[in-house]
Amino acid sequence: MATISAATVAAAAATGASYAYVDLSLHRMGASATAIGLNAAMPALAWLLTTPLMPVLLRRCDPAAVLRVLLGVAILSPFGFLVSTDQGVWMVLRFLFGGSLGMVFRLIEYWINAASPDDRRGRNVGLYAGVFCAGAAAGAALVPLTGTQGWPTILLIQALVGTALAVLSVTRAAPPPIFGPARVPPAVLGTSVAVMAALAFGLFEAVPYTLMPVYAVKSGLSEAWAAGTVSAFLVGALIVPVPAGMLADRFGKPGVLAACAAVGLAVPLVLPAALDTPAVLLAVMVLWGGGAGSLYTVALAMLADRFRGADLAAANVAFGTLYAAGALIGPPLHGLAMDRHDPHGLMESSILLFAALLAVVIGKHRRRRSPA
C-alpha cells in the first residue's frame, strides 16, 4: 500500500493539474462553454472505451510493463498542448492523457482488490480513495503557481507522472496477472450491487464539482461561499473513506453501502434549508462528501468479496465501465434537471438518484438473506 499510495498521489496530482490547466487554457483561447465541456468529457470517454481491455492486457502482457507503457503515454501526450492551439487536437490529447491515466487507476484498483486480505480490503481501498482525492486537490492547487501558459505546468504534470513511474519501476511492484478467461456471465456482473453503485457514483460525481457552485450562486450565495462548497465536499471525501472502509470490513459492506446511499439521499433533502446559513451549508457538504464519496470505496471493496482471479478482473471492468458511462452522461442529465426547475432541479435529480440506489441496495440485500 505504501507503493500504491505514492504512485496514486503523484498520478492523481497530475490529473488534478491537467484539469485546471486545460480548462483554463481553453477559456483563454476563446473556447465556448460547450467546447470546454466536450473536452472535459474526453477522459470519461477514454475510460469507457479502454477499460474493457484490462483483462486482455493482464492475461497476455506483463502487468508491470503495461503500467509503464500507460504512464509513458501520460508523460509524452502533454507535449501536444504546447505545439498546437487547435481545439480538436486538444480533445485527442485529453483523450490520450485521461485514457492512459484512467487505465492506470483501474489497474491499481484491481491490484488492491486482488492483493488485499479480506479483513483489510475496505480500509485499503479507502486509503487509495483518500490519497487520490488529496493528490487531485494538490495538483489543481499548484496550477495557479505555475500558470496556464508555456512550459511550467506541462513540466509539472510530466514530473508528477514521472514520479509515479519511478516509484512503480524501482519497487518492481505490479498488479497480479490473470490466467484464463472469466467464467462469470456478464449479466451477473452488470447487475451486481457494487457495479450498480459505481454507475450511481459516476452519475453523481460531477454534481459537487461543477453544478453545486452554480446552484449556490443561483440560490443567493456569494461566489466565495459557492466555491467553498466544493472544498467542503472534498474534505468529506478525503477523511471519511478510510473509516468507512474499516467499518465495512468489520460490520459488512452491504450495510455500510446502504448507509452511504442514505446519507447521499438525506443531504439534498435538507440542503435547501441550509442555504440561509453558509456555515451549516458547508457542514452539510462535508457530510455529503463523506457519505456519497465513500460509495466508490465500499462498492469497489465489495467486488473481491464475491469474485476472484479472472472473474475479479472482469468485475473491475464492469465496475469501471459503468462508472465511466455515468461520468459521461451524468453532468448533462443533472444540468437538464436544473434547467427544468431552476435551481432546485439539481437537488431533485440527486434525490431520485440516491433513492433508486438505496432501493437497489436494500432489495439486493433482502433477496440475498431470504431463505428462498
Which stretch of DSSP H or E encloses residue 286? helix 278-306
Do 199 and 67 fall into the same domain?
A: no
Task: Determine, yes or no, domain membership for 132.
Answer: yes
User: Where is the domain boundary, 148, 171, 194?
Assistant: 171
Q: How far apart are CA 297 and CA 292, in angstroms?
A: 10
User: Where is the domain boundary, 112, 139, 171?
Assistant: 171
* Higher pLDDT, residue 201 or 371: 201
Task: Determine, yes or no, domain membership for 279.
Answer: yes
Do 139 and 9 fall into the same domain?
A: yes
Please give the grid coordinates belonging to residue 198. Answer: 459505481
**Residue whose C-alpha is closest to residue 40's, from 24, 28, 52:** 24
Q: How many domains in the chain?
A: 2
pLDDT of residue 371: 46
4-20: per-residue pLDDT in tens?
999 999 999 999 888 87
Do 148 and 215 fall into the same domain?
A: no
Task: Report whether pLDDT(241) > 60.
Answer: yes
pLDDT of residue 372: 40
36-95: per-residue pLDDT in tens?
777 878 888 888 888 888 888 888 888 888 899 999 999 999 999 998 888 889 999 999
Do 12 and 133 fall into the same domain?
A: yes
Task: Determine, yes or no, domain membership for 100.
Answer: yes
Task: Determine, yes or no, domain membership for 181.
Answer: no
Task: Determine, yes or no, domain membership for 300.
Answer: yes
Do 74 and 132 fall into the same domain?
A: yes
Do 142 and 209 fall into the same domain?
A: no
Do 208 and 79 fall into the same domain?
A: no
Chain Cα centroid distance, residue 225 = 24
- CATH assignment of the domain containing 86: 1.20.1250.20
Range of the domain at 118: 2-171
Confidence at 187, pLDDT banded by 50, 70, 90: low
**Cα–Cα separations (whole angstroms), residue 91 to 139, 165, 329:** 21, 24, 18
Do 37 and 163 fall into the same domain?
A: yes
Phi, psi of 335 (to 5 degrees): -65, -40
Q: How far apart are CA 121 and CA 355, in angstroms?
A: 27
pLDDT of residue 225: 84
316-347: per-residue pLDDT in tens?
888 888 888 898 888 888 888 888 888 889 89
Task: Determine, yes or no, domain membership for 178.
Answer: no
Q: How far apart are CA 58 and CA 176, in angstroms?
A: 8
